[in-house]
Chain A
């Protein structure tokens, strides 16, 4: 166990504090423990990475936290989950929706096309997600400034387009704009650039990083690509079969991994490039 795991500062410092989260799915006649006693926290304005392979429970973890878990087949969901000290699991559906709507948390996903309505123009979909605001700025002005914030030089024409008219990278930018529309304090990004080309991935991550800094918004990024977290995140959780096997500052993790699984993941992503010379 590392020092950072034992030391647990008061909840007050944490934007998000999760203790002993357990999630169990009922699959035909047996129970599968997707998340098995995970402790997890995010400080305000921090960028946290969660890495692990498929089935490690990383997506389930943030879906449980953001209460985007279909009740169907969940046989157990327990733990102490707090967002700004408020109990997430005990919240009513209405309260949780209020939290998503304004200054709570937002999510972006791997496949933006699956989350955008193909029949509505982009601008309208961003406007729907806008947090309640005082008079002064019109909805369309706010939509345009959001589109500018995520890197579009011509927000007007983008707002007027349909999702299918945009490229993958542009769609992901639109998703980010929708996520930002509620002025979140925390953004969950589940494999946000996995479907994108390397050059586009770099641009989207640069944009995400800039927004994270400009807004002082905390970001939790879930990925299987260690290259993404290495430069982006302050701290990383490594998950394997539902458990956090290591958590450390990014530089510590990459330069002095303590758990053999983390070491193997890092080695694989670094040496895959020299796979042949490494004699694998």
Chain B
């Protein structure tokens, strides 16, 4: 097993906002006590619905946010204590790729300027060799012939090409880890497959690790070594077998909601209750946060907040009181 490179210890991010009515301040725990180890060279997927805290987690890993409670450590060093030089090195070794490549690229800079800016900032190549260096980077992300792309502006590129540029910008610094926040969701299916392919190629050639935030379980199943499922700020299940043998009811719900291209499927066509009760985002004191949506809830679920514990095959960890019974039950898919 590879050594861990990034680790989260009891991390919480609390946003304070004004209440819907009146001036009372309300705390929103976007991330609520997460422990997570990320190992060198692994691809870790973080999945969950919007509002589950997965993007907040990514921001903390990128040092764009500092956790309210707990700490993030990089190779054993708490991020909070990093000096200026160490911080600069951290930023080079932990790179980001975002959801919308169009808005993460400067529209008034050509590809050459965008990438050249980063290369110069980190002094990774001599001025004279810059152009050929950049061309090689573009070729590495599958933009061929590279000369054709260097002079272009982002709007002259397709979404997939833009995302490749964003990946090139991250990969050229030879990072240890790339944090990708929904890198696929603005792309077409065939382009998604290409980007997934590119990421798994880069893993082999450069041994870079990925933390991929996504709500697309299908795509993550194809690339992730381990997957963490988040719900309301907590990791509720993590492991390498969650697609084949999900245990937590929420993981099952997510897997079940995937629409597979099966024309004889009946999930959309099945009669459903006319009104849908919206999921409330209020965090309850004590008790399991999935309680309101859980079909398996029992008494203890309302009283005790379940903690992650090892369960079943592989290195799966689940936060559910009934994990033993559920892991014995046949899987839904």
Please report A residues at the B interface, Cβ cutoff 8 Å: 53-55, 148, 151-153, 165, 167-170, 197-203, 205-207, 209-210, 224-228, 230-232, 250-251, 253-255, 264-266, 268-270, 272-276, 280
| One of B27-35, B58-66, B86-94, B274-282 contacting the partner | B274-282
Describe A's contact surface by its main secondary structure. helix
Complex Cα spacing A231 to B272, Å: 15
Whether, in the assembled complex, B159 has its beta carbon less than 8 Å from a beta carbon of chain A, the answer is: yes
- Assess whether A231 is in contact with B262, with CB atoms less than 8 Å apart: yes
Chain B min CB distance to A248 (Å)? 10
Interface string of B222-262 (1 = CB under 8 A from A): 11000000000000000000000000000001100111111
- Assess whether B275 is in contact with A53, with CB atoms less than 8 Å apart: no
Complex Cα spacing A266 to B263, Å: 11
Q: Considering the complex, give the chain B residue whose CB is closest to the CB of A266.
A: B261
Whether, in the assembled complex, B265 has its beta carbon less than 8 Å from a beta carbon of chain A, the answer is: yes
- Assess whether A203 is in contact with B276, with CB atoms less than 8 Å apart: yes
Known pairs A170-B278, A230-B265, A272-B218; A54 contacts B223 (CB<8 A)? no
- Assess whether A53 is in contact with B261, with CB atoms less than 8 Å apart: no
Complex Cα spacing A247 to B271, Å: 28
Q: Which residues of the partner chain B approach A201 to less than 8 Å between Cβ atoms?
A: 257, 259
Q: Considering the complex, give the chain A residue whose CB is closest to the CB of B191.
A: A53
Of A53, A207, A253, A276, the residue contacting B276 (CB under 8 A) is A207
Complex Cα spacing A209 to B267, Å: 11
The 3 closest A-B pairs by CB, nearest first: A227-B259, A275-B222, A153-B275
Q: How large is the interface on B (under 10, 10 to 19, 20 to 34, 35 or more residues)?
A: 35 or more
Interface string of B48-91 (1 = CB under 8 A from A): 01100000000000000000000000000000000000000000
A-B contact pairs, 21 of them (CB 8 A): A53-B188, A54-B188, A153-B276, A165-B20, A167-B278, A197-B49, A199-B49, A199-B254, A199-B257, A207-B276, A224-B189, A230-B265, A231-B263, A231-B266, A232-B268, A232-B269, A250-B263, A266-B261, A269-B189, A275-B193, A280-B197
- Assess whether A206 is in contact with B261, with CB atoms less than 8 Å apart: no
Complex Cα spacing A197 to B52, Å: 11
Q: A54-B159, A198-B257, A227-B259 are in contact. List 14 more A-B contacts (CB 8 A).
A: A153-B277, A167-B279, A168-B50, A209-B269, A225-B259, A227-B258, A230-B263, A231-B267, A232-B269, A254-B263, A268-B190, A270-B261, A272-B218, A275-B221
